[in-house]
Structure 1
Amino acid sequence: MRSWHGKLFFFAGFVCVLMLTSWHTSKSDNLPSQLHLVYERLLRAEQRGEVLSHELLKVLGQLQNRSISPLNLTISNSSALLEERVLRRLLPSQPNAHIYLPHLKEHEDSLKPIVHLGKRRTGVSLVLGVPTVHRQKQSYLVNTLQSLLYDLSTAERKDIVIVVFVAETNATFVKAVVQSVQTNLPDAVSSGVVEVISPSPHYYPDLSNLKETFGDPKERVRWRTKQNLDYSFLMLYAQSKGTYYVQLEDDIVAKQGFFESMKTYIEQVLSEEWLFMEFSQLGFIGKLFRTSDLPMIVEFFLMFHKDKPIDWLLDHILWVKVCNPEKDLKHCNNEKAQLKRTYKPSLFQHVGLHSSLTGKIQNLKDKDFGNQVLFKGHYNPPAELSSSLEKYQSHTLERAYNGEDFFWGLTPKRGDYILITFTTPQAVKGYFFRSGNIETNGDRFYNTTVEVLPNNNSVKEKVTRGELACCKPSSDGFVQIGSFKNGVAEGEVDGALGEIAAMRLLVHSDSDVWVLLSEIFIKV
C-alpha cells in the first residue's frame, strides 16, 4: 500500500511538472526545446524499460522449467511463486493497463493468464503467438500447429515456443481446445514446445456499448476491439519468454524451413534500426517484434483499443515515432518504411475461409507466398514396389519412391502394407519415411511399423529366438525395426541383420483418414 501511495505521489508530481513546464513554455515561447526535453525523457524511459525486460529474461531463464498437468490451474511450488513475484515486480507495463481498462481494478488476477498446458518455457529465440476463438463453421487450429511443427529439427524445437491463446472465457470451449491440442500434439506439449493459455474471466470489459466508427457495424466494431485486447494479452504473456515474438493466427500454414529462414534474416538486419519485420503480406500475420519492444506496443494498443483495427494502430506507432507533421505524406511514408523490414517470399499463408467474425467469408491469399514443397525426393536403390493401398489419381508409389511426387492412398485398414523389394539385396544403413505434407498434414500413417526382410535365413532364426536385441520378429520372416511417430519413421538398421532383401510398412489398425507418403529415403 505504501508503495502504491508512493507511485501516486510520483505521478501527481510528474503531472505538476508537466503543467509548470507547459505554463513556462507559453511564457517563454520556447516550445521546440521543451518538446526536445520531453522526447529525451521518453527515450530514457524506454531505455529503462529495455533494461527491465533484459533483467526479467535473465531471472526467468534461471528458473527451472516445470510441468503443468492438463487443466490443473494451480502451481504450488515455491519457484512458481517466485516467478510470479518477479513478473509483478519487473513488468511495469501491466499496471498501466488499469488506466485504459479500469474494470481490471475490481479483480486482482484480471491480467493473470491461466496456463492449461505447457512447461512455461523461457529463454528461446522465437515465441510464436497463436490466438484462437470459437468459430461457427470450422476450426483450423490443429492443422495450423501441425504445420508450424512439421519439419522443425530437434535443435529448433528446443529454441522455440508456440503459445496458443484461447481468447474465450467459456470454460467448456476452453476445455475442448485444451483436450484437442493435448490429444493431437502430446509430444509437443510434453516437451514444452506448445503451451495453451486463456485469460482471466475478468479480463474483458463490457463490449456491448462501443461507438460505431469508420462505417463498421456494431458487431464488427466489437470484433476488432476484442482482437486488440486478445493480441495485447498474448503479447504481455510472451514478452518474458524469448528474444523475438511473432504474431500469427489460427488459420495459417507455414512454409517449410520457416524457422531457419527467419533466424538467418534477423541476423542480416540485426544491427539496423527497425520496429518490426514482416514475414507475410496479410494483415498482422507474420509480424515479428523484439520482445523488449512489446510493453510499449501493448500500451499503445490498449490506449486506443476501442478506436481502430490493430494493423492501423501499428501503423500509427510508426507515425508517432518518425513522421514530422511539417513534412508531406511522401516523407512520412519513407520514414515509416525505415522502421520495418519485409522478407520475401512470405513464410506464412492464410488458409481459413470462414472468419472468426460471424458470417464473414475471407478468401485471402498472400501472393508472395509461392507454392509449397509437397514432397522431397531422394535417390533410392532399385526395387519393385507393391501395396494393398488404393492410390489416388496419379499419386503412385513408384513416383514417390523415385522422388517425382508423393504417394496418396485411400483410407488404410489393418493389414494394409507398402512393400519395397530390392532388385538385389542391400546393406541398408538407415531409413526415413515422412507421411503427410505441409498442406495435408493429417493424412499420416498411424500405428504402422517399419519392417525388414533379412536376406540370410540364419539371421531370421536368431531374431525368432530373441538373440538380437535390435528388433523383434513379425510375420512372413520380416523383422520389426521401427514405427511411425507423429507421422515420421526414421532410424538406423543394425548391421547384425546383414543384407536386406525387402522393406515393409505394415498398418496395425484401421484409420479414419487417407494416407500420404511425402518422403522415402533408403540409406545404403
Structure 2
Amino acid sequence: MRCKHSSLLVALCLGTFLSFSWFTHNLTDVREEYVHPQLIALYPRVLAAEEKSLNVSQQLQRVLDSLKRHVQVQRNVSTNNSDVFTTKEFSLAPMSSLSNVYFYLPHLKKHTHSLLPNIVLGHGRAGVSLVLGIPTVKREKQSYLLSTLSSLLYDLTSEEKDDCLIIIFVAEADAQYVYSVADDIKKKFPHEVQSGLMEVVSPSPYFYPDFSNLKETFGDSKERVKWRTKQNLDYSFLMLYAKDKGSLYVQLEDDIVAKQGYSQTMKEFVRHQSSDDWLILEFSQLGFIGKMFRTSNLPFIVEFILMFYKDKPIDWLLDHILWVKACNPEKDAIHCSRQKDNLRIRYKPSLFQHVGLHSSLHGKIQNLKDKDFGKQTLYISHSNPPAEVTTSLSAYQSHTLDRAYQGMDFFWGLTPVAGDYIKIKFVKPLIVKGYLFKSGNIETNGDQFYNTTVEVLCENSSVLNNAHNGQMSKYETTTDGYLRIGAFEDGVAAGEIPPALQNISAIRLLIHSDSDVWVLLSEILIKV
C-alpha cells in the first residue's frame, strides 16, 4: 500500500513538473509585442516552483525505491523466513561509521546503497564473545570452505556455539554464485544456520571500484595488484559488518583447519594478558590468518586499511599500523620491534593451519604451512574388549578397522553404498553398558556416517521374541535377528544399552543409503 501511495505522489509531482515545463516553454515563445506585467512577475516564481517540484519528485522517487527494496526484503523473508532475519541491519551500511569512506572510495557516491550488506543467511545474532570472519571467493580449482567450516565446528561445545558467530563473507558480485554458496552451507549445516551460529553475507554489486587503472607496485603483476587490492576491501567490509556483533573478532580464511579446543584456548589467552594494551593477538604466524582484534578497534583499523588499500597487501598494512602506534622515529629498529611486540602478542603453538593448495589468485600454487602448528590428534584410542571386527568397506592404505578398534589409528573407508556394514563380534557374549562411535576428524570432518544405524545381536533369543511380540516396541528388528538401538546424528552415535538386552554377542553399524564421501571412524568405544 505504501508503494502505491508513493507512486501516486510521484505521478502527481511529475505531472506538476511537466505542466510547469510546458507553461514556461510557451511563455518564452510569447511574441514580444505584448507580455502582461503580471505574467512577467509570475515567471521567476514559476521557475522556482519548477525547481522545487523537481527536487520533491527526486526525493519521492528515492522514498519509492526504498519502499520497493523493503517490500523485496519482506518477500525474501516470507519465502525463507527461517534463514533470514528482518532487523534494522538491512538498512544500515557497515561503513556508515566511517566519515571519510566516500573520500577513500569516491565511486560509492554514484550508488547510495552500495554499502548495504546483502544478508543471505542469518538470524541477527549479536552480543557474543567470539566472532569468526571468513571471506571466500570463487576458486578455479577447488573450494575448501565447507571443510574449513567443518573443522571449526568439530569439537565446539553447545555453550561455545551459543557464544560464537561465524560470518561467511562471499566476496563476489555474482548473485547466482553467492546464493549457491549459501545453499551449500544451508544443506551441510542446517542446525548451525537455523540457530544463528552461521551467517552468510555478500557486498553490493556496486561496492567494488574499477580495478583497471591500478598502479603496479613492488614488482607485482597487474593481476596480483588487483587481487591484493580487492582483498583489502573484502577484509574492510567484513570487519565493519562484524564490529557490532561481539567482543572479539578473529580473522580467518576459507582454506584452513583448526586445532581442537581453539575457542577455549583463545578466550583463556585473552584473559591471561597482563595488560590491555594489546592491539593484535596472533594465533597463526601466516599472513592474516588467526589474527584477533577487539571489535571496538575495528573501525580504526579499517580506516587505516582504506587509506592505503591500493598500495600494499593487508599484512604489510597491519605492520604499518603497529609502527605508527608504537615506534619512535628517533629510535633504532630493535627498539621499534620491541615496542611493536607489546601490541602484537603471539600464541604458540599455532591454532590454525593453512591447507589450501590452489590460491584464489589465478594460477598461483600456495604451499604455505605454519611450522608452529604441530601435529593434530586425528583419533582417540580406547581399550576395547576382545572382538573380531569385519567390514564390507574397503580401507584406505593402512587405516584399517582392526587398527582403529585397537586404538592405533583411525578407520578410513572408501565411498560406502547401501548395505555396507561394520561388525564387532565379541569373543564371548558380554554385558555392554554403552557405545560411542565418532566419525570424521579435525582434518576430514566431512567424511562422516550418514543414514547409519547401530544394531545389537542379543545372546538371549527371548529378547528378540519379545521384540517381535511388541513387548519392546521402541526397538526395530532386522530380518537377520538384530535390534536397532541407535543411529548416527551429526557424525556421532552414542548411547546406553539397557540390562533387558544383555548379554550382547555383536554390535553392527549398517549403512542404509549410498554416500558421496568416504567414511572415517576417529573414535570407537565399547563400554563394559
How would you bin the TM-score normalised by the shorter chain?
0.7 to 0.9
Answer yes or no: is 1:404 the counterpart of 2:408. yes
State whether residues 407 and 516 of structure 1, in contact with CA within 8 Å, keep that contact through their aligned partners in structure 2. Answer: yes
Q: Which runs of 5+ in 1 are unaligned?
A: 1-66
Counterpart residue number, 1:426: 430
1:471/1:481 contact within 8 Å kept: yes
Cα distance change, pair 140–71 in 1 and its aligned pair in 2 (3 A): farther
Runs (4+) of structure 1 moved beyond 6 Å? 67-76
Contact 2:166–2:197 (CA<8 Å) still a contact in 1? yes
- Structure 2 counterparts to residues 170-181 of structure 1, below 5 A: 170-181=174-185
Residue 341 (structure 2) aligned to one of 326, 334, 337: 337
Task: Give 1 or 2 for the bigger CA radius of gyration.
Answer: 2
For the 8 Å contact 1:141–1:250, the answer to whether it is kept is yes
CA distance in 1, matches of 2:155, 2:286: 23
The aligned counterpart of 1:444 is 448
Q: Which amino acid aligns with 1:148?
A: L
Q: Deviations over 1:347-387 (max 9, x none)?
A: 11111111111111111111111111111111222222122
Counterpart in the other structure of 2:512: 508
In 1, distance between residues paired with 2:223 and 2:164? 36
* Partner of residue 290, structure 2: 286
| Equivalent of 2:476 in 472, 475, 479 | 472
Give the Å deviation of 1:511. 2.1
Distance 1:75 1:98, change over 3 A: farther
**Equivalent position of 2:487 in the other structure:** 483
Distance 1:212 1:72 in 2: 46
Of the three residues 374, 378, 383, the one matched with 1:379 is 383
TM-score, with length taken from structure 2: 0.81
Residue from 351, 354, 374 that aligns with 1:347 = 351
Query: Could you list the per-position Cα deviations for residues 121-152 of structure 1 after superposition, in whole angstroms to 9, with x for gaps in the alignment?
Result: 11222111110011111111111111111121
1:259 aligns with 2:257: no
Q: Distance in 1 between matches of 2:487 and 2:332?
A: 64
The corresponding residue for 2:166 is 162
Instruction: Note closer, same or farther for the CA distance 1:321–1:488 as it changes in structure 2 (3 Å cut).
Output: same
1:113 corresponds to: 117
Deviation at 1:270, TM superposition (A): 6.2
Q: How does 1:22-421 map to 2 (within 5 A)?
A: 80-81=87-88, 93-269=97-273, 271-421=275-425
In 2, Cα distance between equivalents of 1:467 and 1:126: 50
Give the partner amino acid of 1:464: H
Distance 1:163 1:152, change over 3 A: same
| Preserved contact between residue 77 and residue 85 of structure 2 (Cα < 8 Å) | no
Measured in 1, the distance between the counterparts of 2:100 and 2:494 equals 51
Give the structure-1-normalised TM-score.
Answer: 0.82
2:114/2:207 contact within 8 Å kept: yes
CA deviation after TM superposition for structure 1 residue 109, in Å: 2.2
Task: Tell me if structure 1 keeps the 8 A contact 2:438–2:491.
Answer: yes
162-171 or 465-474: bigger deviation = 465-474
- Is the alpha carbon distance of 1:468 and 1:352 closer, same or farther for their aligned partners in structure 2, counting shifts above 3 Å? same
2:43 corresponds to:
none
Q: 1:362 to 1:234 in 2, by over 3 A?
A: same
Q: Where do 5+ consecutive residues of structure 2 fail to align?
A: 1-75
Residue aligned with 2:156, SS:
coil
CA RMSD of superposed structures (Å): 2.3
CA deviation digits over 1:295-322, x for unaligned, max 9? 1111111121111111111111111111
Alpha-carbon contact 1:466-1:472 (below 8 Å) kept: no
Q: State the alpha-carbon separation in 2 of the partners of residues 122 and 482 from structure 1.
A: 36
> Retained in 2: the 8 A contact 1:424–1:501?
yes
Question: Per-residue deviation at 1:120?
Answer: 2.1
The 2-side partners of 1:487 and 1:324 are apart by 54
Closer, same or farther in 2 for the Cα pair 1:75/1:458, shift >3 Å? closer
Q: Does the residue aligned with 2:272 lie in a helix, a strand or coil?
A: helix
Displacement of 1:459: 2.4
Number of aligned residue pairs: 453
**Cα distance change on mapping 1:247 and 1:225 into 2, 3 Å:** same
Cα distance change on mapping 1:435 and 1:76 into 2, 3 Å: closer
Greater shift, 462-471 or 407-416, is seen at 462-471
Report the CA distance between 1:259 and its aligned residue: 1.3
What SS does the corresponding residue of 2:138 show, helix, strand or coil? Answer: coil
